[in-house]
Amino acid sequence: MQFQNTRAFAQQLDAADNLRDYREQFHFPQIAGKQVIYFTGNSLGLQPKIAQAYVDEVMEDWRKLGVEGHFHADKPWWDYHERLAKPLAKVVGALPEEVSVMNTLSVNLHLMLVSFYRPTKKRFKILCEEKAFPSDQYLLNSQVRFHGMDPDEAIVEVKKRKGEHFWRTEDVLAKIGELGEELALVLIGGVNYYNGQAFDMATITKAGKAVGAMVGWDLAHAVGNVTLALHDWDVDFAAWCSYKYMNSGPGNASGVFINKKHLGQDQIPRFEGWWGTKKETRFLMKPVFEPMETADAWQISNPPVLALAPYLASLQLFEEVGMDALVGKRQRIVAYLEFILEEIAKEVGGSFEVITPKDRGCQLSVLLHGQGRSLFDFLMGQGVIADWREPNVMRLAPAPFYCSYEDMYRFGQLLKQGVLRQNK
Ligand SMILES: *Cc1c(COP(=O)(O)O)cnc(C)c1O
């Protein structure tokens, strides 16, 4: 399709968009009385309007039923988390029993490493991407030290090539081959938070498995954003937060995927708590832990029901729309945004370098040349909520659930104003 940088054309794309009405199902922040252009669904997704009712329901059950809500609420609390597993499994391409919702992301990655990073003298290395999200670096480092080893020896990073802004799959595969029998674990962010790159998870997982390593993915920026097939790819484990593209609310609970082949395996170590033991006998309060036969065996505490309520609400929307439709719109709207950036660059005689490779999700990371923070601040003042990363990268993520093509056009016009103003 030949795009045009006009309001009429953008409106035409919106009119043809099957998902256009979903925009009305989210609350948009306002700046100076105007609805913002929201580019930070990669950081905190907007609130679905139905979320409030789900939270109110829990509050009301608590008010009316007290402790009886555990078993007698309309959606009983004791197994509230189980309602999330099925729709989530579809989002990540898993079997429902492979998915659980609990804790928060960094905590869950630690719990996954307890089970799936079991270094031996010979096989102890971890492969990750260079400049991984800080929390991932800290947790890998501390896990290695926990096992009494030196992170400098155990952690190997795949680097970007000089002058390039992305990782090459062939370089990841080469490192895996090089490490071979020393490689205990591959753990990479499926979609990188900084440059927006989507890794070739299927190919990398296959290569990691081929040398006998465990392969896990941090899907913080991937879930609800790109197509995932965790089960079919034979991924060992994965974890993600839900407040980015999943729109579940600030700091909300994390999901985990544990491959079916690891379920019901007694020899896998695990940190255990009472919500991981069999439902049928849990309240007999026996001293023996009998693990659930699902990923719920990794659950330690009873579920944070008030937090899960808006997550469940959001999953209802994912269930309605489906990942295929979301991914379809995401590809078009991101391509349109990229086109707008090119057009505006021509008009102002400058350049906006998109450092995000074509294998990507929703986010475009734009390296600004000759402009900087003041352009970003101008845009924010005009009601564009985007994200700034030092030294001079602007991250733009038009989430397909609630962003419109006209937003992209309007953004282009504001960007042009901002640059021309600076050049004066
Ligand atoms: C957002 C993000 C996190 C956040 O972790 P929390 O434990 O939820 O605070 C971790 N890792 C990556 C790659 C992220 O993008």
Structure tokens belonging to residue 333: 């709207």
Q: Which atom in ligand 1 lies closest to the alpha carbon of residue 241?
A: 8
Residue nearest to atom 14 of ligand 1 (CA): 220
Do residues 408 and 336 touch, judged by C-beta distance below 8 A?
yes
Cis upstream peptide for 391 (omega within 30°): yes
Distance CA 176, CA 74 (A): 50
DSSP, collapsed to helix, strand or coil, labels residue 387 as strand
Mutate to test the pocket of ligand 1, among 131, 133, 245 (most ligand atoms within 8 A of CB): 133
Cα of 240 vs centre of ligand 1, distance in Å, is: 8
Of 93, 1, 136, the closest CA to residue 318 belongs to 93
Ligand 1: which residues within 6 Å by Cβ?
104-106, 133, 135-136, 189, 193, 218, 220-221, 241
Fill in the amino acid letter for 149.
M
Cβ contacts of 4 within 8 Å, gap of 6 or more: none
Q: Which atom in ligand 1 lies closest to the alpha carbon of residue 133?
A: 13
Q: Which residue has the tokens 């993915």?
A: 217
Q: Which atom in ligand 1 lies closest to the alpha carbon of residue 43?
A: 1
Question: How many residues are listed for the chain in this entry?
Answer: 424
Residue nearest to atom 8 of ligand 1 (CA): 105
Determine phi and psi for 113, rounding to 5 degrees.
Answer: -70, -35
- Name the region of 423 (left: φ>0; alpha: ψ -120 to 50; beta: rest): alpha
pLDDT at 399: 98
Apex CA 276: angle with CA 271 and CA 277, to 5°?
115
Pairing of strands 387-389, 393-396: antiparallel
Q: Is the pTM of this model over 0.75?
A: yes
pLDDT at 269: 96
pLDDT at 280: 87
Domains and CATH numbers, the chain: 7-35+322-423 (3.90.1150.10), 52-321 (3.40.640.10)
pLDDT at 183: 98
DSSP, collapsed to helix, strand or coil, labels residue 406 as helix
Residues forming a β-bridge with 342 = none
Residue 11: Cβ within 10 Å count: 14
Q: Which atom in ligand 1 lies closest to the alpha carbon of residue 221?
A: 15
Residue spans of alpha helices (H) in 117-266: 134-146, 151-154, 169-179, 201-210
Q: Which atom in ligand 1 lies closest to the alpha carbon of residue 136?
A: 11
Percent helix, strand and coil across the chain, each to the nearest 5? 45, 15, 40
Going residue by residue through the chain, which has 424 residues, state the pLDDT in tens, using 9 for 90 and above: 799 999 999 999 999 999 999 999 999 999 888 899 999 999 999 999 999 999 999 999 999 999 999 999 999 999 999 999 999 999 999 999 999 999 999 999 999 999 999 999 999 999 999 999 999 999 999 999 999 999 999 999 999 999 999 999 999 999 999 999 999 999 999 999 999 999 999 999 999 999 999 999 999 999 999 999 999 999 999 999 999 999 999 999 999 999 999 999 989 999 999 999 998 888 888 888 999 999 999 999 999 999 999 999 999 999 999 999 999 999 999 999 999 999 999 999 888 999 999 999 999 999 988 778 889 999 999 999 999 988 899 999 999 999 999 999 999 999 999 999 877 7
Mutate to test the pocket of ligand 1, among 43, 135, 193, 218 (most ligand atoms within 8 A of CB): 135
Angstrom distances, CA of residue 230 to CA of 200, 285, 417, 421: 12, 35, 44, 48
pLDDT at 214: 98
Determine phi and psi for 292, rounding to 5 degrees.
Answer: -60, 155
Distance CA 95, CA 259 (A): 9
